[in-house]
Amino acid sequence: MSMQQTVFVTGGASGIGFAIAEAVLDQGWRAIIADRDERNIDQSRKALARSDRDVHFLQLDIADEAAVVQAVERCEAQIGPVTGLVNAAGIAKDVAALDTSAELFRRILDVNVVGSFVASREIAKRMCERGSGAIVNIASVSGIRGNIGRVAYGASKAGVITMTQVMAVELAASGVRVNAIAPGPVDTPLVREIHTEEIRAQWIERVPQRRYGKPSEIAGMAVFLLDDRKAGFITGQTICIDGGFTAAGLLVS
């Protein structure tokens, strides 16, 4: 039995975030699902309805700094100390670089990097005071490789990877670990929205395992990284979970 944790999961009401929240609950830990989308929250509330699960829901837009500050304060006062944070909330849009407006670029940075940063800062402050805690940021292989249509999204995820390194180094002496997971293509509502059949076929061709990942395949690593007893000496790392995508050179099949 691992130590009791309270894990705050942004974007926890859908896809990868939801799978992570579920895996957290399966550990017997407490999950706080923070998501912008009321409908997704309702759906996940129904999906997780079981009396023995210690799960809390809150409607929150991570791009709203004041709301994040307030939400973290309220959670700590009313639910308890947050011992783990997973930044899974994110948005994506496939647009060619030459067609990308500054407004779209800023919006993607605002949610994916700045939103994750503000949540990390607010929760890490308290973790540092207590001398322990773990943060897992959901980056992407698009922050490591140049994927077509991903100029803003890729830059945002590269930002998440660097933020992970800087915060890991700054917070290490305070007992707080910060790591990232860079998933390849994973079957989620977000991907079903932006990947056409053609894009899907292209991804499958480039992933050596020839398939999309499942949200549960990301969740296992998130739970591992959150657990000091398993990952206590791991900080500042980005783990690719991508069926071999970033390892591959020229594919011959």
Distance, CA of 226 to chain centre: 12
Which sequence positions are flagged as catalytic?
Answer: 153
For residue 138, list its beta bridge partners. 181
Nearer to ligand NAD, 115 or 149 (CB): 115
Q: Which span (34-42, 99-107, 119-127, 230-238) binds ligand NAD, by CB under 6 A?
A: 34-42
Q: Which two tokens stand for residue 132?
A: 């322990």
| Site map 78..107 versus ligand NAD, x via CB under 6 A | ----------xxxxx---------------
CA–CA dist 17, 21 (Å, integer): 6
Asked whether 60 and 17 are in contact (CB, 8 A), the reply is no
When asked if residue 21 is in the footprint of ligand NAD (CB under 6 A), the reply is no
When asked if residue 154 is in the footprint of ligand NAD (CB under 6 A), the reply is no
Q: Identify the residue among 84, 115, 154, 243 touching ligand NAD (CB under 6 A).
A: 115
When asked if residue 16 is in the footprint of ligand NAD (CB under 6 A), the reply is yes
Q: Which two tokens stand for residue 6?
A: 């309270």
When asked if residue 138 is in the footprint of ligand NAD (CB under 6 A), the reply is yes
H helices present in the chain, as ranges: 15-26, 38-47, 65-78, 102-109, 116-130, 151-171, 189-194, 197-206, 215-226, 228-231
When asked if residue 133 is in the footprint of ligand NAD (CB under 6 A), the reply is no
Contacts of 38 (CB under 8 A, 6+ apart): 59
When asked if residue 17 is in the footprint of ligand NAD (CB under 6 A), the reply is yes
**73-106 burial, b if ≥16 CB within 10 A, otherwise e?**
eebbeeeeebbbbbbbbbbbebbeeeebeeebbe
When asked if residue 155 is in the footprint of ligand NAD (CB under 6 A), the reply is no
Q: Identify the residue among 63, 108, 135, 171 touching ligand NAD (CB under 6 A).
A: 63
When asked if residue 32 is in the footprint of ligand NAD (CB under 6 A), the reply is no
- Which residues would be at the binding site for ligand NAD (CB under 6 A)? 10-11, 13-17, 35-37, 40, 60-63, 88-92, 111, 115, 138, 140, 183, 185-186, 188-191
